[in-house]
Structure formats: C-alpha cells, structure tokens
Amino acid sequence: MPDRSVAPIIVDAIDFDLQLKPYEKLVLKNGVEVYTINAGPEEVLQLECVFYAGNWMEEQPLVAATANYLLKNGTTKHTAFQINEYIDYYGAFLNRACYNETATLTLSTLTKHLPQLLPVVKDILTDAQMPEAELDLYKQTMKQRLQVNLKKGDFVAGRLIDTYLFGEDHPYGKFTHAEDFDKLNRDTLLQFYKKYYQQGKLILFVAGRLPNNLEQLLNDCFGDLQMQNVTVPPIAIQPAAEKKYRITNDENGVQGSVRLARPFPNRKHPDFTAVQVLNTIFGGFFGSRLMSNIREEKGYTYGIGSYLLNNLQQNAWLISTEAGKDVCEATITEVYKEMEILRNEPVDDEELLLVKNYLLGSILGDLDGPFQIIGRWKNAVLHGLGDDYFKKSIQIIKDITPEELQKLANQYLLPDDFYELVVV
C-alpha cells in the first residue's frame, strides 16, 4: 500500500517518455491499406474510411460536400430512413465529413456488431443513389443556413480571410454562393461518386478492441472494390495583392471579427513543430501572451487565439478574435506589439518550461485511448510524415531554446507578411 502521509513526487511533463503506440498495417486483396490500433478496455471500435474525394477534386462548387452528405441517404435496397433505423438499432453511429482534399465515412460501434454493420457500409459505398427528393431537401436546408450565416461577422470573416490567403479560385479560398446550390444536379453527383468513391482511393483506419477476424471482415466488405490511385494535383495559390481590409457586414453591428493571417508551410516543413511552440507562447493557449494582454489586461475581448492550419497542401498561420468594433484597431495594434516583443526579447526560461509542459501534457491527454492514437497516425499517414514524426516532434518541443524561438519570430512574425481583416 502507498504511504498516504508522503506526498507523491511531482514530475514535469517535459520529463515524460512519451511513446506513440505503433500501428499494425494490413493490405486488402485489392491493395487498400488498413492501419489498425488494437487497444482500449471497452468492446468498441471505430472504422474510418478516408477517400480522396474533397472539394479539391470537384469541377463544380459544392459537388464534393453534397455527394459526401448524401452517401447514406438512400441506396437501391434501402431508403435513408431504413439505413438510419438499422444503424440506430445496433446503437452505432455512421457519420460523414468532407474536407479540402479528403472525405470520410466513419462507423462507431460495439465490436460484436461489426459483422452486421459492415454490409450497410459496403452498400453505401457501392450503391448510393442520392435521390432527387433528398437532394432537393439538402439544397433547401443549406441555402437557408447560408442565408443565416451570412449575417454573422465571424462567418463572413472566415470566408474572406481564406480567399485573401489562397485566392478565390483555389480550393482553400473559394466559398459558397446561394446560386451554387441551384446548379447541383443528381447526374453530376453520381459521376463524382463513381469516380472518387466507387473507383477512387481508399485508406482505412480502425481502432479499438478489434475482432480476431478483422482482416477477413474487411476483405469481405472492401476487398473487391475497384480502387484506383487518386492523386491530389498541385494548385498554386494566388493571394490577394492588398493586405488590409475593413468590411461592413452589419451597419448596426456592435462587434467586429478580427482576423490576421499569413501563408505558412505545411507539416513537412522542418520549422513546423518549432513554430507550434512559438505559436503556443504567442496565442495558442489560455495563458498565452495575446490572452494576457488583449483579454486580461485590455479587456478588448473574451478570447483571442492563434493557430496553424492543418491542410495537406498549403498552410497558414491565423490569429482570430471577436471584439467591440470601437477597439478592433487597438486589438490589431496590440497583436503587432506582442509580435515585436517576441522578435526583440528572448522568452524567459520559466515561461518556456510552462509552455513545454502544457504542450507535452496536452499530447499525453490526446493519447488516452485508441481513437486518439489512430487519429495521430491518420494525420501522419495522410501528410506523408513518416513513422518517426511523433518522436522527432516530441524531441523538438523538449529541446527548443529561447534563442531558436526568437530567430523563428524574426522570420515569421513580421507584420508586413500578415493580411488584416475586420468585419463589423
């Protein structure tokens, strides 16, 4: 028994030996790669199907997102209601999502129900019909949602800053117009579905308490799909020439949405992890300098943050907040002041240790369970980072010095490189 009269030794997170449980890789008979993590105390699992079917691939706006949404809204054999009722009967969840380069279909279920649910997943991936009635309902709902969102300054700001950074014709920068929904038709959606789901590129990520016959189950479901190698063609960004924008979205508005952003390399760049440390100090957690200055000291906002995007291709460094419209310009001034301090003054050892412990402690929390572990491997696989990326990143966080951070600040935290946007 432990001696309760003696306080346990406090160990900084920086001294933890963080390890990422390795995946096991399967290859189905048609060449589909499967990454698995067999772990966890509960008899549950998550199966994520990742297709290279994001809006990067579409030739017409909204086709990728709409096709993804309508995946489970009816097949030849089953209606949308029947599919959802069947999944609910087993207490499972079947979700879908569409991103820039990829789109996903994710099944969360008790392990023992996987054999009953996989045929439904296969039916969706091989025989989705995208009925006209479902499409019409989707278009009506999304047009109404867009109309509501366009009245919100933060929504408008999020659209515009991406356009300034990447260009209005770039997949990262283009945004939706109401008339785009009217142009959608079932034939175009089915063509996209056939090319990128029925005959596209599929990667599977499975985590949880896995059945012993997992490989056989997956081969039965996915092994006969006629998959092809889909590549993501490079598209050059075309950033806006002007860098300062002030937009009036609501003449009676009392709050402004502030965005500052600059292009930044993706995760393959050698500076990415080190800049994540710098970003955390700058505006990446509740104790950051931006929060201490602009929220705690000045009271301009309830919250302000900065972060690096996680795109597969081009990336960006973004500062985001909502503030009273009378203090938006002052907020921008203070952001630039904090950049200047980081460029001119080394971070002291105490603050750096705090941030290192925060980052490593957060990573430790993220590794609490098989779904979180497979999520990290998924990120590494899709970005092509290599199996040693996690270990190298941990070491960079542990070893980085104030001098290195100051050098990075002088390289990347330059006001002239940032786009400014205020939407009121």
Both tokens of 293, joined, read 């200055």
Residue 276: what pLDDT? 97
Distance (Å, whole) CA 272 – CA 269: 6
Domains for the chain: give ranges and CATH numbers. 24-222 (3.30.830.10), 244-423 (3.30.830.10)
Kindly report whether the global pTM for this prediction surpasses the value 0.85.
yes
Residue 253: what pLDDT? 84
Residue entry with tokens 């630039």: 336
Residue 5: what pLDDT? 85
Residue 6: what pLDDT? 85
Backbone dihedral angles phi then psi of residue 189, each to the nearest 5 degrees: -65, -40
Q: Do 93 and 107 form a contact (C-beta atoms < 8 A)?
A: yes
Residue 397: what pLDDT? 97
* Residue ranges in the chain whose pLDDT is less than 70: none
Backbone dihedral angles phi then psi of residue 414, each to the nearest 5 degrees: -110, 120
Closest CA to 233 of 191, 170, 316: 170
Helix (H) or strand (E) holding 82: helix 80-89
**3-state SS string for 314-341:** CEEEEEEEEEEHHHHHHHHHHHHHHHHH
CB neighbours (10 Å) of residue 243? 17
Distance (Å, whole) CA 60 – CA 54: 12
Residues 6+ apart with CB under 8 A from 315: 263, 264, 265, 266, 267, 308, 309
Amino acid at 379: N
Residue 366: what pLDDT? 81
Q: Do 321 and 305 form a contact (C-beta atoms < 8 A)?
A: yes
Q: What DSSP designation does 200 have?
A: S
Q: Do 406 and 343 form a contact (C-beta atoms < 8 A)?
A: yes
